[in-house]
Each structure stands twice: as C-alpha cells, then as structure tokens.
Amino acid sequence: MTLDTFPKYLLANAERIGARPAMRHKDYGIWQSWTWAEQRDEVRSFALGLRALGLKHGERIAIIGSNRPRLYWAQTAAQSLGAVPVPVYADAVAEELAYVLNHAEVRFAVVQDQEQVDKIRSFAKDIPLLTNIIFDEARGLRDYDRQGLYGFADIQARGNALIAADRTIAQRWEDEVKAASGEDISVMLYTSGTTGRSKGVMLMAKAAVRAASDTVAFDGLNENDGMLAYLPLAWVGDHYMNYAQGYVSGFCTNCPESAETVAQDLREIGPTYYFAPPRVFENLLTSVTIRMDDASWIKRKIFDHFIGVARKHGEAILEGRPVPLTGRLAYALGDLLVYGPLKNVLGLSNIRVSYTAGEAIGEELFSFFRSLGINLKQLYGQTEAFLYVTCQKNGAVRSDAVGPPAPNVDIKISDAGEVLFRSPGMFSGYFKQDEKTAEVLTDDGYVRTGDAGFIEADGQLRIIDRAKDVGKLRSGELFAPKYIENVLKFYPNIKEAVAFGDGRDFVGVFLNIDLQAVGNWAERNNIAYASYQELAGHPDVYKMMAKHVDETNRRLADEPIMAGMQVKRFLVLHKELDADDGELTRTLKVRRSFVAERYQPLIEALYDGSAEKTVETEVTYEDGRKGRIRATVKVEDAKVYPAVKADAREAAA
Amino acid sequence: MNAHSGVEIIAAPDDGIAPGDKLMEVKNVSLRFGGVKAITDISFDVRKGEIRAIIGPNGAGKTSMLNVINGFYTPQEGTIVFRGVERRAMKPHHAVRQGIARTFQNVALFKGMSTLDNIMAGRSVHMNKNLFWQMLWHGPALREEIEHREKVEEIIDFLEIQHIRRTPVGRLPYGLQKRVELGRALAMEPSLLLLDEPMAGMNLEEKEDMSRFIVEVNQQRGTTIALIEHDMGVVMDLSDRVVVLDYGKKIADGVPDEVKSNQQVIDAYLGVAH
C-alpha cells in the first residue's frame, strides 16, 4: 500500500505505533488520551455510521467547531469513505457560515455544540441541501426537534452495531481505505477572505501527503513529538500541522480544555513542536513585561540583567556559533534563574521546533524568544500551497525575511515583483470557480501569491506587502502600507495601524491603541479614563503615539527605498477595529478598503489639514445588536526625516 | 476512551416524589422580630421540577421567607412540609442533609480558597469517611476524594469555569463569584435549590449567562428551584409560577402572565397615590 491518503496513515500508524498516543483532550480536568489503535477504532465506527446515514463517495461534509478529537476524527472518517471534509471557521457569523455551507453543497455537518446547530438552523432555508447535523456536545439540545439531528456517539453506536452484526464489515472498511486513490480530493479549505468572498481551495490527497512528508523530514518530526491544537480547524495551518503532519509523523495532537485555558494547557503539555502567529508571541511578551513591572525591584534587576545577557549571547548559543566562556557561564546561570523558569511558565520548555507566520514579526520580539533558547523560525505560505512555500533552516534564521524555498518548492519573482511558486502540495483548484483558478495560475504552472517581495542575497525571501496594495505616492515614490504598519505595530502600545497614501501627497495613518498595554501604562501614571474611546483620545496617549510615529519615521529614513513613505499625519481611532464590524477578517487582518470607505471623513481630515473631526460610527455588539458611537478625533502632524544617503541596499520592489 | 462529552450530568436525587407533585409546602407561616411582622400568614407550595419565583418590592419579606425555608429562622406560627415531613424548627445543617441548598444575596464564598476547593466544600455533606481517614488522606478517603472530584469537575464543566479552576475566588469578578457559588450549591446535589437574588448587581451579559445556567440546571438535572429576584423581566421569563409578597403578605400567586396583569401587583411595584 502506497501511503498517499491520511486514512492509510491511520491504519499504518495503528500497526506501527498502535500504543502511542495519537490524541489528547483535556476534559473534566483530566487529559483523556487515545492511542493510534483506539483512534482507528473511533474513526472506523463513526465512518460506518456515517455511511449508514447516507454519506457517499465524492460528497462534502462540513466540520464546524473548536479543536476537539471528535471533529478531527470526523475528517478522517469522511476521507475513509472518499468524502471531502470542509472545515469551517467556528466563529463565523451565521450568514458567513451559511454562504460557505451553501457554496460547498454539503448535505452533512459535524458540529461541536448547540451554538453551531442554532446558526445552521437559523439559515436553514438558505442551505436546503444540508439535512443531517451531527453534534459532539448534547448540552442545551434536549428539547430540539430531532429531525436530522444526531449525537456523535449515536452515529458511532450505529457503526458498532453494524460491526457486531457482521464481523467482516470492519475488514472490508480497511480494504477500501487501502484501495483508495491518492488522486481524490482530501480536504477543501475556505480562504479567510481578506479580499472578497472566501474561496474553497481543493487539495488532492497525495499532494497533501507529499507536502506534509517533506516538511516532517525537514524538521525531523516523529511520534515522540507533541503539539497543542488551538488554532481554528478551518485554517490551513491547523489542518497542515495538527492533521497532516500529525498523521504522517505520528505525533500526538493535544486539544485544550477551552479557549480560555490554552495558556494553562500549554504549560501542562509542554509541546515539542509549536506554532503561533506573531500576535500570540506579542501578547506573551506583553504579559511578561507587565508582570515584571509589578515584581519587586530585586527580581526586576535580576530579570533585566539576564535578559541583557540573553540578548548578547542567547541566539549565538542557540545557533552553535562561538561564544566566550564567560558568556556561556553567564547564560547558564541565567538559564537556571530566569530563562528556564520563564519558559516553564509559558509552556515552552520542551520546544524543539517552533514557527511563526501570517504577519511580519518584529526583530526585537523575534530575538527575545530566540535568545531564551527557543528555536523559533519563520515560514511563509498560503492555503493554495497547503501552507509551506518557504521555511527557515535551523541556524539560518532572521526576522526580516521568511526563509529559502521549502523542500521541492520552486519560487520566482514576476516582472511586476510578485512572488510565484510551484510546489508538490499545490492546490487542484478553487471549488466551482474555474475562472478564479485560471486567474492565479501562470501559463508555466506557477501560482501567484498576490504578495510583492524579493529574494535576498542569502536566498531568503523577503515579503514587502500584498502586491495589489503596493502603490505610489504622487511624487512617484514607493508606498507599501503593510511595511509601515508593521514597523508601527511592533510597538506594544499599538495594536493595529492602517496606512494611506496611494496616489496622495504623503502618508497618513490610523492607529489603534492596545488596550492592555496602554491601560496598564495609564494605571501606572494615574491617568483616569472611563472608556476605550476616552483613553484613545487622551492627550498623553497622543504624545506617546507621536513618539512612536517619530521613531518609525527615523527607521524608515534609514532605508533608502522606504524613506519616502514616512508618516506625515496620524490619528488615533476612537474604536477598536473589529471582525464583527467587518473591519478585520476572521484571521484578524485589516480589510483595508472597507476601513477606508467606513472612515472616509477621517481620511479627508488626514489630508485637508484639519486638526480634528467629529464622526459617528455604527458598531455591532456581541449579541448582534447595533449601536452608534460618536467621537471627535484629533489629527496630529509628525516630523519627517531626510533620507539617509543610500549606500545602495539592493532594491527590487 | 472515556470521553464524557455529551453525557448527562448528575441528576437530582430520587426522593420518591413524582414530578409535578408538591415537594415543599409552606403552611400559614408567620415570622415576627419583636413587634415587627416580617411575614404574615403565608402559604404556598413548590412542585417538584419547577422554577418557583418569590418576588416583591424591597422589604417585602422575601429573604426572610428563604431563611425560614432553610431553617435559619424559626417561624412563630405555621409549619413547613418538605418531602412529606412536617416541621417547624430546624437547623440549617439539617436542611442541607434533607437536600436543600442555597446561594446568598451577597456572595458567601471562602475568598482565599480556589474555585475548585470552594465547590469541593459543597461535597462535604456527601463525604462520610471519618476524620481519621480524612487526615491520613489515604485508602478509602482518597478514593472518596477522587469520586467527589469527578462530580465537581462535571459542575465546573457545566458552568464553564475551567479557566478559573485554580484561581482564588477573592480575585474573581463578581459575576463569576456568583457562578462559583451556584456551583457550590449544585455540588450538594440538592432536591431543592434556593437562590437569593442570583442576578443582583450583574450586567446584562452576566444576567443572560446566569439565566441560561438556571434553566439548564432545572431542565437537565431536574433540580427544583425556588428563587428570589428583583428583576421582573428575568423572573417572568424564567419561572413556571410566581408568588408575590408585599409588606410580609402574599398578594398574588400564579403563572407569570396572571401575576403580571394582577392589579395589586402593579400597585405594589409602581406605587399608588393614596
């Protein structure tokens, strides 16, 4: 049997490492675990139950909920029947959910709980095909109409009853799995929809397996590794790491108790393999900083001293570069007193390999974690590639680039500066959208990423911005909004930034304060505030922001091609950008054009020289009701620095 | 292999009373403090499986009524029949033994103890290994502890407070403290749960959460609930039947719709010009 589907790996792992844990889930305060052999049995009984319910080869089945063993099993069970799992973002509002379910033409959905059942039923008339809902948690569903509603365990019981009635059924199921074709579609992942409606990305089984095997070999992952599954099931990264790599390498996937307990669960599990977007690392650092600010002076002194030592020698030690003996001794002492305990608190003690991706990561932030001895690296990828396009090798890591092409991946830069790739894990097309598929494929079989970038001298890819966002100022100078925003966002006090400037005279930005960091600072400085809005508009907060903008301009002035994009005017937004208001995507990326349209009067104020502007904005509360908030927002000027004489850094944007 | 998800949690103990029959009956109860009449000749009943609300304006005698039911006050006149046993005077710990648990208007938790320990304290009524074994914390006492811990974990899961399992309750916001207090009362596996203003001082979202938990306790576990509440909206949505008190007297008793349209109730709540 060629291992070219995930159900085949399930059978192989149950043979090879049947007694090793495949899955853990913290439930009722205890880590419940399932071995590979047990996982095979769970998947088998669910698969047979699903078939009895009518799921057929080639059909699609939606999976909606947070990271739960049963939802992962449901995906394998579907695949074992030749059906295609379609994981959907669990926090999508009912309307978005209905769009995806309808577009994917699902007849079946496996969902976590009442919340998802409610969402589906509230849009039932828009999804006429979806007639079978299977739920994991029964809570709250007692009095629901049971028509087309089944418990996960009930479906498994059906499967078990079939096996009990006819012993050969189990064997026949295994034979079918072994005979299945790697050419079948393995999974369909919907893109998060940064630009317009989300598209269903179809991934072929053997391509997905190939991509996962390449990177499992690259990082030497095996059945002794473990990972915490806490990112959305529908996101390519979770499906790639916790599902695909998990099956291929046989490592254990750990599901947290709830979204609020992730930090504690991480600490208890102590994974060896870890992924987090820069945002998470940022929050970790912010919380460490805040807690150290509250510590006694002696602890603070010790912390500051050894963090200094780590900054000096930590990365060199991690990469095996030469370090003087005194440095090594100081670092060893620091490890005993500070780094070890700190990593333990963060749950990062056992990390062998960890990645960050999705957004640019600040140099300070990146090297902070690396200097503690955590092997943090960057990768670059997208759903269409089944995640990996580039990834950094151990020892060849930098914060401003995302690494050389991953194994067996080809990269080239188009004449327009767009990054193109061709890889074994490449998608087979968008579901029911052939014209869109044709748009992103080049004639020679490369995929357009939509990102502008260039390849550095050491072979690492550097991403500047989304290709379509890169523009020019009226003076003709380059304008890459993401680049400016990232520099600004590296300040812990700034949560989000949106830059404008394409076709205009200069660059203006909107800033969002980080309530946790700025709130803490306000408390420390006896600044009273009653609301987010009041804090955001406080004169002292403006002063703080002005300082950050000033420093940003200095940094931009240092890089010849970026010097023209210095920020001339800025304002601090009176409300936090929010996915519920459509300002961010579900993966929390800014929807630039939407924000521009919504805050049109504020953009005018940036460019017409006015000192303040009164605006009224509609907001959506958590329960879906709408309200309006009014605010007067101040606009301030910032100093612009002359560009540093170009000692000619390579520019290729 | 032992996922509990979806399993129905602990049901109320079987006390031989069929759902819909009288679980408790208050008969002509009067309570005086010196010359002050807190409660005057009040009678009503609580049927098994229902949510029964006791409402009324400030000083109407609601909390006094609750205190009489769980044995904290002894009424001068009248009796209370609980699970078929008639009684007048009783100590609160006897009430607990008989299956009555309560929460308080002002949270009464052990502030320095964790959420887990607070709820565990609610199990003490069901622990029967003697002090000797408990001090050794070995053998039967340890087994007993594990058994009880499982029940407590079910409650923690039910109330969605996993993330504060180890947090000292004194550090928790008020809304969560109220939830922990409910957890402790549930840990006693009561046949009658008394809630004294479970939603006082909460914001809208906390109220919605709490209402959901109360309904779920009632429906999933079949626990009979008697609650005092100020918030009329909440009461009318939640309860099956409502008793209205005013100046220590019963002025109305019935299903929410009846009570809402009762002129005396409207007068008591809105006031009348005299």
> Contacts for B66-69 with beta carbons within 8 Å, 24 or more apart?
B66/B102, B66/B194, B66/B196, B66/B226, B66/B228, B68/B26, B68/B29, B68/B31, B68/B39, B69/B24, B69/B26, B69/B95, B69/B100, B69/B194, B69/B226
Same domain? B201 vs B214: yes
Contact status of A142 with chain B (Cβ, < 8 Å): yes
Dihedral of the alpha carbons of A32, A38, A40, A46, in degrees to the nearest 10: -70
Contact status of A271 with chain B (Cβ, < 8 Å): no
Q: How confident is the model at residue A653 (pLDDT cuts 50, 70, 90)?
A: very low
DSSP chain B: ----TTPPP-PPPP-S--TTSEEEEEEEEEEEETTEEEEEEEEEEEETT-EEEEE-STTSSHHHHHHHHTTSS--SEEEEEETTEEES---HHHHHHHTEEEE-SS----TTSBHHHHHHHHGGGG--S-HHHHHHT-THHHHHHHHHHHHHHHHHHHTT-GGGTTSBGGGS-HHHHHHHHHHHHHHT--SEEEEESTTTT--HHHHHHHHHHHHHHHHHH--EEEEE-S-HHHHHHH-SEEEEEETTEEEEEE-HHHHHH-HHHHHHHH----
Give the integer Cα–Cα distance in Å for A9 and A208. Answer: 12
Last residue of some domain: B188, B211, B232? Answer: B188
Same domain? B45 vs B175: no
Percent of chain B with pLDDT over 90: 30
Give the integer Cα–Cα distance in Å for A222 and A503. Answer: 52
* Whether A423 contacts A408, CB under 8 Å: yes
Selection from B33, B88, B34, B93 nearest residue B63 by Cα: B33
Question: Tokens 């504060």 sit at which residue?
Answer: B164
Kindly state whether residue B179 falls inside one of the protein's structural domains. yes
**β A471-472/A478-479 pair status:** antiparallel
Q: Per residue in A62-75, pLDDT tens? A: 999 999 999 999 99
Amino acid (1-letter code) at residue A80: S
* Whether A382 contacts A389, CB under 8 Å: yes
Q: Do A70 and B5 touch (CB under 8 A)?
A: yes
A150 to chain B: closest CA residue? B6
Cβ-Cβ contacts under 8 Å, A137 against chain B: 5-6
Which of A36, A139, A155 should be substituted to probe chain B, the one whose Cβ sees the most B Cβ atoms within 10 Å? A139
SS3 label, residue A557? helix
Question: Tokens 């974990």 sit at which residue?
Answer: B153
* Whether A50 contacts A155, CB under 8 Å: yes
Is ipTM strictly over 0.85? no
Residues 511-550 of chain A whose Cβ lies under 8 A from any Cβ of chain B: none
Cα end-to-end span (Å), chain A: 47
Give the integer Cα–Cα distance in Å for B177 and B166. Answer: 13
**β A507-513/A494-500 pair status:** antiparallel
Percent of chain A with pLDDT over 90: 67
Last residue of some domain: B168, B188, B208? Answer: B188
Q: What number of other Cβ atoms are within 10 A of residue A28's Cβ?
A: 20
Dihedral of the alpha carbons of A554, A559, A565, A571, in degrees to the nearest 10: -30
Q: How confident is the model at residue A168 (pLDDT cuts 50, 70, 90)?
A: very high
Alpha-carbon distance values, A223 to A3, A7, A21, A301 (Å): 17, 17, 9, 41
Give the integer Cα–Cα distance in Å for A254 and A226. Answer: 7
Q: What pLDDT, on a 0 to 100 scale, did the predictor assign at position B136?
A: 66
Task: Give kind and range of the element (H or E) at residue A439.
Answer: helix A434-440
Name which of A401-415, A494-508, B98-112 the model is least confident about.
Answer: B98-112
Cβ-Cβ contacts under 8 Å, A142 against chain B: 219-220
Selection from A215, A394, A359, A392 nearest residue A277 by Cα: A359
Kindly state whether residue B56 falls inside one of the protein's structural domains. yes
Amino acid (1-letter code) at residue A37: A
Residues 8-27 of chain B whose Cβ lies under 8 A from any Cβ of chain A: 8
Q: What pLDDT, on a 0 to 100 scale, did the predictor assign at position B15?
A: 66
Selection from B148, B67, B53, B57 nearest residue B102 by Cα: B67
Q: Radius of gyration of chain B from Cα atoms?
A: 19
Same domain? B140 vs B266: no
Alpha helices by DSSP H, A59-204? 69-80, 94-103, 114-122, 152-165, 168-179
Q: In this complex, which of B153, B163, B205 lies closest to A261 when CB atoms are compared?
A: B163
* Section B139-156 average pLDDT: 85
Same domain? B3 vs B91: yes
Q: What number of other Cβ atoms are within 10 A of residue A371's Cβ?
A: 23
Selection from A251, A249, A258 nearest residue A213 by Cα: A249
Dihedral of the alpha carbons of A557, A562, A566, A571, in degrees to the nearest 10: -130
Same domain? B203 vs B169: no
Kindly state whether residue B105 falls inside one of the protein's structural domains. no
Q: What pLDDT, on a 0 to 100 scale, did the predictor assign at position B134?
A: 67
* Whether A361 contacts A211, CB under 8 Å: no
Same domain? B48 vs B122: no
Q: What is the CATH number of the domain that holds B93?
A: 3.40.50.300
Q: What pLDDT, on a 0 to 100 scale, did the predictor assign at position A287?
A: 86
Range of the domain at B159: 111-188
A38 to chain B: closest CA residue? B1
* Section A167-178 average pLDDT: 95
* Whether A121 contacts A109, CB under 8 Å: no
Chain-centroid distance, C-alpha B86 = 20
Kindly state whether residue B229 falls inside one of the protein's structural domains. yes
> Contacts for A461-465 with beta carbons within 8 Å, 24 or more apart?
A461/A380, A461/A389, A461/A390, A461/A401, A461/A402, A461/A403, A461/A404, A461/A405, A461/A411, A461/A419, A462/A400, A462/A401, A462/A402, A463/A360, A463/A380, A463/A402, A463/A419, A464/A417, A464/A653
Give the integer Cα–Cα distance in Å for A315 and B35. Answer: 80
* Section A599-625 average pLDDT: 85
Q: What pLDDT, on a 0 to 100 scale, did the predictor assign at position B226?
A: 93
Kindly state whether residue B106 falls inside one of the protein's structural domains. no
Contact status of B4 with chain A (Cβ, < 8 Å): yes
Last residue of some domain: B138, B169, B188? Answer: B188
Give the integer Cα–Cα distance in Å for A373 and A363. Answer: 16
Which of A24, A28, A71 should be substituted to probe chain B, the one whose Cβ sees the most B Cβ atoms within 10 Å? A28
- On average, the pLDDT of chain B sits at 84
Same domain? B197 vs B235: yes
Q: What pLDDT, on a 0 to 100 scale, did the predictor assign at position B231?
A: 77
Selection from A379, A383, A67 nearest residue A194 by Cα: A383
Percent of chain A with pLDDT over 70: 98
Percent of chain B with pLDDT over 70: 88
Residue B14 scores a pLDDT above 70: no
Q: Per residue in B52-89, pLDDT tens? A: 999 888 888 888 898 888 888 888 888 888 888 887 77
Q: Do B162 and A38 touch (CB under 8 A)?
A: no
Q: Per residue in A404-413, pLDDT tens? A: 999 999 999 9
Q: How confident is the model at residue A650 (pLDDT cuts 50, 70, 90)?
A: very low
Q: In this complex, which of B5, B163, B205 lies closest to A258 when CB atoms are compared?
A: B163
B153 to chain A: closest CA residue? A28
Distance from CA of B152 to the nearest CA of A (A): 9
Name which of A281-295, B159-173, B260-274 the model is least confident about.
Answer: B260-274
* Whether A177 contacts A63, CB under 8 Å: no
Please tell me which residue, B92 or B179, carries the higher pLDDT value.
B179
Same domain? B196 vs B184: no
Chain-centroid distance, C-alpha A51 = 33
Cβ-Cβ contacts under 8 Å, A267 against chain B: none
Give the integer Cα–Cα distance in Å for A483 and A565. Answer: 9
Task: Give kind and range of the element (H or E) at residue A419.
Answer: strand A418-422
- On average, the pLDDT of chain A sits at 91
Residue B2 scores a pLDDT above 70: no
Contact status of A261 with chain B (Cβ, < 8 Å): yes
Give the integer Cα–Cα distance in Å for B105 and B200. Answer: 7
Q: Per residue in A304-329, pLDDT tens? A: 999 999 999 999 999 888 999 999 99
Residue B33 corresponds to which tokens in the numbers above?
């403090």
Kindly state whether residue B104 falls inside one of the protein's structural domains. no
Give the integer Cα–Cα distance in Å for A357 and A625. Answer: 34
Question: Tokens 């999508």 sit at which residue?
Answer: A92
Q: Radius of gyration of chain A from Cα atoms?
A: 26
Q: Do A28 and B150 touch (CB under 8 A)?
A: yes
Q: How many CB pairs under 8 A join A and B?
A: 56
Q: Do B162 and A257 touch (CB under 8 A)?
A: yes
**β A149-151/A132-135 pair status:** parallel
* Whether A552 contacts A484, CB under 8 Å: yes
Q: What pLDDT, on a 0 to 100 scale, did the predictor assign at position B271?
A: 66
Same domain? B122 vs B141: yes
Contact status of B147 with chain A (Cβ, < 8 Å): no
Cβ-Cβ contacts under 8 Å, B3 against chain A: 25, 27, 32, 69-70
Which of B162, B165, B212, B221 should be substituted to probe chain A, the one whose Cβ sees the most A Cβ atoms within 10 Å? B162
* Section B190-197 average pLDDT: 91
Domains in chain A, CATH or no CATH each: 6-271 (3.40.50.12780), 469-637 (3.30.300.30)
Q: Per residue in A113-137, pLDDT tens? A: 999 999 999 999 999 999 999 999 9
Give the integer Cα–Cα distance in Å for B27 and B94. Answer: 20
Contact status of B117 with chain A (Cβ, < 8 Å): no
Q: What pLDDT, on a 0 to 100 scale, did the predictor assign at position B6?
A: 38
Q: In this complex, which of A32, A68, A260 lies closest to B163 when CB atoms are compared?
A: A260
The total number of structural domains that make up chain B: 2
Same domain? B159 vs B272: no
Q: What number of other Cβ atoms are within 10 A of residue B10's Cβ?
A: 16
Q: Per residue in A374-403, pLDDT tens? A: 999 999 999 999 999 999 999 899 888 899
Give the integer Cα–Cα distance in Å for A382 and A253. Answer: 22
Same domain? B170 vs B81: no
As to burial, measured by CB atoms within 10 angstroms (0-12 exposed, 13-18 middle, 19+ buried), residue A603 is buried
Q: In this complex, which of A38, A152, A261 lies closest to B162 when CB atoms are compared?
A: A261
Kindly state whether residue B90 falls inside one of the protein's structural domains. yes
Same domain? B86 vs B194: yes
Dihedral of the alpha carbons of B238, B242, B245, B249, in degrees to the nearest 10: -160
* Section A235-250 average pLDDT: 95
* Section B95-104 average pLDDT: 85
Name which of A292-296, A356-360, A473-477, B130-134 the model is least confident about.
Answer: B130-134
Name which of A169-173, A381-385, A578-582 the model is least confident about.
Answer: A578-582
